[in-house]
Chains A and B, each alone.
Chain A
Amino acid sequence: SQTIHQWPATLVQPVGSPLSLECTVEGTSNPNLYWYRQAAGRGLQLLFYSVGIGQISSEVPQNLSASRPQDRQFILSSKKLLLSDSGFYLCAWSPSGIAGGYTFGSGTRLTVV
C-alpha cells in the first residue's frame, strides 16, 4: 500500500533562517507531488506541484522553492524565512495520468519567530 511521510511535524525557526521540509512517498512510482500551505483558520493554497523528477511548477510567487531530486521525494525550501511564511504545510500525492483524489501527509506546523 502507498504511504506518505512528511517531517518534521513542528518547527520553530527565526526570521532569516533557512528552511527544508521533506516529503517522501512509498509504494507507488512516478506520482504527482504537491506542496500546500494552510494559514491559521484559512483554506489551502497550492504552492508547488511536480509531475516528474526535476519538474517543478510554482503556483504563486513567494519566498519558497521546491525540488524533486528523486521520484518519490519532494522538498520545500527557503533561503531566508519571513514571518509571513508561518503556517501549516501539507505535502500530497496523486497517481499520475489519471483523475483522482490526493493523499495528504500529516503536515508540518512552521512558526517563524
Chain B
Amino acid sequence: GEDVEQSLFLSVREGDSSVINCTYTDSSSTYLYWYKQEPGAGLQLLTYIFSNMDMKQDQRLTVLLNKKDKHLSLRIADTQTGDSAIYFCAESKPGGYNKLIFGAGTRLAVHP
C-alpha cells in the first residue's frame, strides 16, 4: 500500500523537545519530507532528507531516518509556542510525476 502513518496528536511543554514519528511503506522512496501547517494556512516545507542519509540537522530541527524500519522522525529542540501546528510527513514515489504521499498529520500542542 501507499500508507504513511503518523500519530495524530502530541502535547509538550514549552522548552522541552518534541519528537514526531512517521512510518512509510515504500523502501524505494527517494526523498522524505516534513511540512508544517499553521491554522488556516497552507503547508510550509520544513526540511527533507534524501533516502541515503541517516540524519539531517537544521538549527532546532533534527530528522532521523531508519530505512530498515521505514521510520522517520522529526525532533524539535527547545519547543516554543510558535511551533504549535500540524506536522505532515511525506514520502516521494520514484518515477511518474513526482508523486508525494502524505501522512494524516500530527497536531503538536505546546503548553506553558
Which residues in A have some Cβ–Cβ distance to B below 8 Å?
Answer: 6, 32, 42-44, 49, 51, 57, 90, 92, 94-96, 98-107, 109
Inter-chain contacts of A95 with B (CB < 8 A): 98
Whether A99 contacts B94 by the Cβ 8 Å rule is: yes
Report which B residues bind A (CB closer than 8 A).
Answer: 30-31, 33, 35, 40-45, 48, 88, 90, 92, 94, 97-100, 102-105
Cβ-defined partner of B45 (8 Å) among A49, A98, A103, A109: A103
Q: Is the CB of B43 within 8 A of A104?
A: yes
* Residues of B contacting A: mostly: strand
**6 pairs of A and B residues whose beta carbons are closest in the complex:** A43-B104, A104-B42, A104-B43, A44-B102, A106-B42, A107-B42
| Least CB distance, B51 to chain A, in whole angstroms | 10
Q: Which residues of A contact B43 (CB under 8 A)?
A: 44, 90, 92, 102, 104
CA distance A43 to B37 in the complex (A): 11
Which residues of chain B have C-beta atoms less than 8 A from A90's C-beta?
Answer: 42-43
* 15 CB < 8 A contacts A-B: A32-B98, A43-B104, A44-B88, A44-B102, A90-B43, A94-B98, A95-B98, A99-B30, A101-B33, A101-B45, A101-B100, A102-B43, A104-B43, A107-B42, A109-B40
User: For residue A99, which residues in chain B have a CB less than 8 angstroms away from its CB?
Assistant: 30-31, 92, 94, 98
**Closest-CB distance, B100 to chain A (whole angstroms):** 6
Task: Assess A43 versus B97: contact at CB under 8 Å? Given A101-B45, A104-B43.
Answer: no
Are B33 and A43 in touch, CB under 8 angstroms? no
